[in-house]
Structures are given as C-alpha cells and as structure tokens.
C-alpha cells in the first residue's frame, strides 16, 4: 500500500505536467496550419507560457522573472517605442519589433495584430522572450542578416539545452544541443537592427565581436550574460553547474565590469588638463545603440572650494541618426544615415582630454569622473508617453542614469 501511495501521486503529477504542456488558454482561439499537413496548432501549444515551466523549473523561472527579457513586451518604454514605430513609414512591417521582443511572431506572422494588442494592453498574457522562445530553437541560420532562428515544428514536445545529463520526465523530451553554449544563439536579436538594415555595418549592434580577445580566448556571450553557478535545473534535481537566467548586462552588477577609468591630471599655472582613459572591457560595442535610449556618457566634474562644481564637461558615446527629412532622430527605424558614431568599439581604449582654469582660493580640488548609461532620450512626446504609461511616472528607472564606473581623485593646488 505504501508503494501504491507513492506511485500514484507521481503518476498524477506527470499527467498534469503533460496536460499543462498540451492544453492552455488560447488567445482568441487563433491557430496556424502546419506545412506538413498535420492538424492546426494553437499558439499557446506551440509556445507554452513560462508559467507552465515554473512547475518544474522554479529556480530558473524566478531568475528569468527578474531579468530584462521577461519584460520584453511589458515595459512602458517598449509600448511607447512600438507606437512611434507603427506610426512611422517603417511601421508597415508590423511584426518587425516583435521578431526580437516576441520572436514566436515568426511562426505566427498572420497574428501580428494580436501581438500588438497584447503589448499595448500593458499587461500581456503572452510571453515576449521566455522559456519556449529560446529552448525551442534548434538552429540559427547565420547566412541571413540578421541571423534567423529555426524553431522545432509546432506542437513538438522537444526542448533543447546545453546539458548531457538532463533529467528524464514525461512533460517534454530534452535534447542536448551545442548551440546553447555558443554566441550564435544570441545573434537572432543582438547582432543587427532589421529596421535599419539599409544602414548596413554602420548600425551593427555588436561590432567586430567575433574578432575580440575574449572570443578568441574561448568566451561566448553566455560566459558573462549567463554565468555558471551551482544549483538545480529542475525542482528536486541534484545540484550541479547550471546557467544563471537573470541575464545581467546594463541591469545588474555585470555592468561594473564593463569598463575601467584612469585619471591623469596636470597643472600648468592657471591652466589644468585632465586626461581620462576609458578602457572598454567588453567584446562588443559599448553601448549597442538600440533602443533609442542606449547611449553611454562620460561625465567630468571639477569641484573646488566647499565642493562647489567649478567645471563640468562630458563625452557621449552612441550614434546620431538622420531621417528621410534631413532631421536628427534617435530612432534607428527612422534612420537613413548615421550622422555621428562615437560608440566604444570592442575592447577599445578611448582617451579624452579636458582643459579648464585651475581652481582658485583652495588648497585642493576634486576630479570626479563617471561613466554611465544615459537615461531614455527622444522627442518630448515620446518621453511623455513613457511617463504616462508607467505606474512609476517620472520616477521610472528609464529616466535615471545607471553608473558603470566612477572614480574620484583629490588634487593639491600648486602654489
């Protein structure tokens, strides 16, 4: 009897898991017909919601839930950007933004309005970038630009991952795939902006990442953005080396390893020169210039007597675009030309020189240098829309700079 009491709950659990994978709410009963003549498959069966994965992969789900990927179609900034895009000439291709922000639109191109409606609702019930959007990828076609993901046929219960010793289960079949340990997996969305394809290499997001020292030493995107840790892949499984799914980058402590600053100060009587050396430590462009608010600012502040700021200057690293009307724009989907490109290239050392009057009436002065991600930028109407859409209003984090590295030195004044 004790054996039967043990087996029955396990069997019921397995049945529930399979049922959870195969049956779920459908957004308006929308379907698409498979090319091989099999029965049509609902979107939610083809790309199960991440809540179903949580039942067995609680640790991974909780990490992903805190990541930027989990908010790929949820954020006020995305909704405002989507509106700006759809009202532009490029907006005729309604699916374009979703090919990265909800990539399963590639398998449901005729349902793009559903994706738009879900995103605009502010509380979408479908996932953007979640478990199935990545773990159903079986191949990446790098002959396309940007690279094109090839998904497991709709309705399949095969999921791919990096592990050889995966746990057997009745919810889905697991298969090891080397792709999940390679940067190729990330290129679908992180190499180029398809809306600015006419700009070619001038709007490449990553730069010559594959020629970087990091890549040549054997590092891949996952090395930094999915760092290894010890834990469970599935609930109750033995602890082992697993990948972190918080996807640190601009958000998270990883950004503090993105660059370093060196300060050299030279006084020549009434004139002082500060040389700031900015060393990028990442094997890709910094910043990646997409979306519109992705720029990095180097700020120099000189503080004299009573810590009063006596000199300030900055350098902005990013891209300035020109639209078809000859006007400057922050939106790459409006761009027909790159007017200025000051992006820090992979692992680049940039030297910036600042000259200012030597502070007077003080024995010392402070040199304060900060490298940070800039707040969201754009037309006033765009910023107002983000503020209106956000529950935090003007306090939304996108309106605040995010420090990468900060360095301060106290300099004695030569009398």
> What percentage of residues in the chain have a pLDDT greater than 90?
65
pLDDT score at 16: 38
The residue-averaged pLDDT of 14-34 equals 42
What does the pLDDT read at residue 291? 61
pLDDT tens-digit readout, 266-314: 999 999 999 999 999 999 999 987 766 689 999 999 999 999 999 999 9
Most confidently modeled of 126-130, 184-188, 250-254, 331-335? 126-130
Distance CA 127, CA 69 (A): 10
Closest residue by Cα to residue 146 from 92, 201, 94: 201
What pLDDT was estimated at residue 197? 59
Q: What is the pairing mode between strands 335-341 and 228-231?
A: unpaired
Crossing angle of helices 380-389 and 76-86, in 10° steps, is 140
Domain ranges of the chain: 16-182+220-243, 256-412
| Distance set, CA 364 to CA 126, 265, 310, 409 (Å) | 58, 12, 13, 10
* Domain 256-412, CATH homologous superfamily name and number: Immunoglobulins (2.60.40.10)
Distance CA(292)–CA(323), nearest Å, equals: 14
């Amino acid at each position: 009897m004790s054996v039967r009491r043990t087996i029955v709950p396990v069997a019921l659990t397995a049945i529930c898991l399979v049922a959870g994978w195969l049956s779920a709410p459908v957004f308006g009963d929308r379907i698409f017909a498979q090319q091989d003549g099999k029965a049509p498959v609902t979107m939610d069966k083809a790309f199960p919601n991440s809540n179903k994965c949580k039942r067995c992969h609680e640790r991974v789900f909780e990490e992903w839930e805190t990541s930027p990927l989990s908010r790929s179609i949820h954020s006020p900034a995305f909704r405002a950007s989507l509106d700006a895009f759809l009202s532009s000439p490029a907006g005729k291709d309604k699916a374009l933004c979703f090919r990265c922000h909800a990539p399963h639109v590639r398998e449901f191109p005729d349902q793009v309005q559903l994706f738009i409606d879900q995103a605009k609702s502010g509380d979408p019930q479908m996932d953007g970038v979640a478990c199935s959007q990545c773990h159903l990828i079986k191949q990446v076609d790098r002959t396309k630009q940007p690279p094109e993901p090839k998904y497991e046929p709709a309705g399949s219960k095969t999921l791919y991952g990096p592990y050889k010793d995966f746990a057997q289960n009745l919810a889905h079949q697991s298969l090891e795939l080397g792709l999940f340990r390679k940067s190729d997996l990330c290129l679908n969305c992180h190499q180029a902006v398809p809306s600015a394809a006419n700009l070619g290499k001038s709007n490449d997001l990553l730069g010559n990442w594959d020629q970087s020292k990091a890549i040549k030493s054997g590092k891949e995107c996952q090395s930094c953005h999915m760092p290894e840790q010890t834990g469970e892949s599935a609930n109750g499984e033995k602890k082992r080396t697993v990948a972190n799914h918080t996807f640190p980058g601009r958000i998270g402590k990883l950004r503090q390893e993105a660059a370093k600053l060196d300060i050299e100060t030279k006084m020549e009587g009434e004139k002082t020169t500060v040389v700031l050396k900015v060393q990028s430590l990442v094997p890709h462009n910094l910043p990646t210039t997409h979306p519109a608010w992705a720029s990095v600012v180097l700020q120099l502040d000189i503080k004299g007597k009573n810590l009063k700021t006596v000199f300030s200057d900055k350098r902005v690293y990013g891209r300035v675009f020109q639209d078809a009307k000859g006007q400057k724009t922050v939106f790459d989907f409006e761009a027909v030309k790159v007017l200025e490109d000051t992006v820090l290239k992979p692992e680049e050392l940039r030297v910036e020189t600042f000259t200012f009057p030597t502070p007077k009436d003080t024995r010392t002065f402070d040199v304060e240098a900060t490298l940070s991600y800039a707040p969201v930028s754009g037309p006033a109407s765009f910023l107002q829309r983000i503020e209106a859409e956000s529950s935090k209003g003007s306090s939304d984090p996108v309106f605040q700079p995010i420090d990468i590295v900060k360095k301060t030195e106290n300099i004695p004044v030569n009398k």
